Structure 1
Amino acid sequence: MSKRVVTLAHYYTQPEIQQMADKVGDSLELSLYAKECGADVIVFAGVRFMAETAKILNPQAEVILPASGSTCSLVTQTDVTALQKWREEHADYVHVSYINSSAEHKALSDWIVTSRNVDDIIASLYAEGKKVAFSPDRNMGAYLNFQYGYDMPLWSAVCEVHDKFNQAALDEAFAAVAGAKYLIAHPESPLPVLQQADYVGSTSGMLNWIKAFDKEPDAVIFVATEDGILYNMGLARPDLNIKQAPIYAGCQCNSCPYMKMNTIDAVKRAQAGEGTRIDYLSAEQMDSARLPIERMLEFSKRYYQ
């Protein structure tokens, strides 16, 4: 009997990679789909932590990462030994970790969150009287502290793609637009950018905001996130003037180098059984990492469905 191969692709991959996938989505959508799709083989066109998450949720499946070097700066900037010490220094806190983290990082966490559900999960923990420590994304944590008056201790790592957006470049871009303009931003962006945004949300949240846009038809909409999502936004609303927010004067180009390692040839090879297999996680590691992920997935099912 032939094996069922399912290909997943994140919104930040190239359009031609998305067209090869059985499912395209953000971290939460792909996590849920990976858990429920019943695949024998999962080809994950994304970055390593996403493929690890798919393996943790589907230990019986073979998970293949097309490009071995497709990591994430939030992972590479986090020393897990130092994180464990930081975790011990905040032993009476609930440790909430962003899904953009390694399997070892997840295993040191109480909850995993995505950019779509982080606000709701942390709010629910505070409503229960808990104290929260947040890792690894400093920008996201700083925004949550600012937006809701939290005082969460924060780990200090950033997404190298989103951290390049800056207020000075945005001010210059806004000044060049005579008519209406809007800014939507991913919460991995720096706080001054997020404070200026008309909407802050996950990749899917921004895409839905674009789909529902019903204001000035000639407005310029700047998007502060990785440039891959502009393809999906353009498909959804070809009538809108959508631009990537600049990272410095004169530049509107901000691609994740790791996502772009997912080439057509690499994905085809992975679909044929070649590539990097996520087979290095021990059963104990996966069990420890699965618990906070399952908490997040259960919360998301109750809250969003």
Structure 2
Amino acid sequence: MSKRVVTLAHYYTAPEIQQMADKVGDSLELSLYARDANADVIVFAGVRFMAETAKILNPQAEVILPDAGSTCSLVTQTDVKRLKAWRDKHADHVHVSYINSSAEHKALSDWIVTSRNVDDIIAHLYAQGQKVIFSPDRNMGAYLNYQYGYDMPLWSAVCEVHDKFNETALNEGMAAVAGPRYLIAHPESPLPVLKRADYVGSTSGMLNWVKQFDREPDATLFVATEDGILYNMGLARPDLKIVQAPIYAGCQCNQCPYMKLNNVERVQRAQAGEGTRIDYLSHEQMDAARLPIERMLAFSEAQMRQAKPAPEVMPA
């Protein structure tokens, strides 16, 4: 009997990779899909922490990463031993960790969040009277502290892609464009950029903002995130002028080198059973990491149910 292979791809992968996938999405969407996938094999065209999350949520499936080098600077910049000491120093705080983290990191966490649900989950914890520490993304944590007046102690790691966006290049790039200009940004970007943004949100949030854009038709939309999502934005709204925010004068070429390791040949090889298997996590590690992820998923699914409109009742 042939194995059922499901291929997942993040929005930041190249268009040709997205076209090979059974599901394209952001971290939250892909986590939910991986958990519920009726699959013998999950090929995860993304980065390693995403494949680890899929294995943690669906341990019966064989999970394959197309390229062993697909890591993330938020992972490589975090020493787990130092993180544990930092967490122990704040033992009376709830440790909230961004999903862009290793399995070992997640196992040291109380909650996992994505860029789509981080605002709501941390607000929920503060409403309960909890104190919070946030890791690993310093930029995201700084934005939350600024936006909501929190005083969360922050870990100090950054996404090497988003951290390149800067206010000076942004000002120059926007000044060079005539007509109405808007900026949307991912919260992994530096705080000065986020303060300038007309919208700050997750990858899916930015995509939905573009889909619903109904202001000046001649506007230029600057997008401060990895350039992969511009493909999806262009498909959704070919009538709009959408450009990546510059990282220095004249440059709109900011890519995640790790996402781009997912090429057609490597994904095809993974679909045929070759690649890096996520088979090195112990049961204890997966159990410890699964708990904070499941807290997040349960919270987000409850919110989705509340947001879903009630079915119409047909008149008798």
TM-score, L = length of structure 1:
1.00
* Paired letter, 1:160: E
Give the match for residue 63 of structure 2.
Answer: 63
Q: 2:36–2:58: 8 Å Cα contact kept in structure 1?
A: no
For 1:261, the equivalent position in structure 2 comes to 261
1:100 is paired with a residue of what secondary structure? coil
Aligned residues: 305
Counterpart mapping for 1:218-229 below 5 A: 218-229=218-229
> In 2, distance between residues paired with 1:33 and 1:2?
21
Would you say 1:299 and 2:305 are equivalent positions?
no
State whether residues 41 and 61 of structure 2, in contact with CA within 8 Å, keep that contact through their aligned partners in structure 1.
yes
Code of the aligned partner of 1:17: I
CA RMSD of aligned residues (A): 0.5
Q: Does 1:89 align with 2:89?
A: yes
Instruction: Provide the C-alpha distance between the structure 1 equivalents of 2:37 and 2:61, rounded to a whole number of angstroms.
Output: 11
Q: What letter corresponds to residue 198 of structure 1 in structure 2?
A: D
Alpha-carbon distance in 1 for matches of 2:251, 2:12: 19
Aligned AA (1:220): T
1:24 is aligned to 24
Query: What's the counterpart of residue 288 of structure 2?
Result: 288
Could you tell me which residue of structure 2 aligns to residue 128 of structure 1?
128
- Counterpart contact for 2:226–2:255, Cα < 8 Å: yes
Displacement of 1:256 in angstroms is 0.2
Alpha-carbon separation, structure 2, partners of 1:170 and 1:2: 51
Amino acid at match of 2:184: I
State the distance in 2 between where 1:206 and 1:80 align: 31
Give the aligned partner of residue 75 of structure 1.
Answer: 75
Residue 2 of structure 1 and its aligned partner are, at CA, apart by 1.8
Aligned to 1:163: 163
Amino acid at match of 2:250: G
CA shift digits 1:8-59 (9 cap, x unpaired): 0000000000000000000000000001111110000000000000000011
CA distance in 2, matches of 1:182, 1:109: 36
Q: Which runs of 5+ in 2 are unaligned?
A: 306-316
> Deviation digits for residues 44-80 of structure 1, max 9, x if unmatched?
0000000000000011110000000000000000000
Residue by residue, what CA displacement relative to the aligned partner does 1:65-106 show, whole Å, maximum 9, x if unpaired? 000000000000000000000000000000000000000000
- Is it true that 1:182 corresponds to 2:153 in the alignment? no
Note if 1:110 corresponds to 2:78: no
The AA in structure 1 aligned to 2:179 is G
Distance 1:262 1:78 in 2: 24
Deviations 1:183-209 (A, max 9, x none): 000000000000000000000000000
Q: Secondary structure at the match of 2:39?
A: coil
User: In the alignment, which residue of structure 2 is the partner of 1:243?
Assistant: 243
Q: Distance in 2 between matches of 1:58 and 1:29?
A: 14
Any unmatched runs of 5+ in structure 1? none
Structure 2 match to 1:231: 231
Percent identity of equivalent pairs: 84
Partner letter of residue 11 of structure 1? Y
Partners in 1 of 2:103 and 2:246 — Cα distance?
33
For 1:66 and 1:174, locate their aligned partners in 2 and report how far apart those are by CA, in whole Å: 37
Matches within 5 A, 1:131-150: 131-150=131-150
Structure 1 residue 304, shift from structure 2 partner: 2.0
Give 1:176 deviation, angstroms. 1.2
User: TM-score, with normalisation over the residues of structure 2?
Assistant: 0.96
Amino acid at match of 2:185: A
- Equivalent position SS for 1:215: coil
| AA aligned opposite 1:273 | G
Task: Give the residue type in structure 2 aligned to 1:142.
Answer: A
Question: What letter matches 1:135 in structure 2?
Answer: S
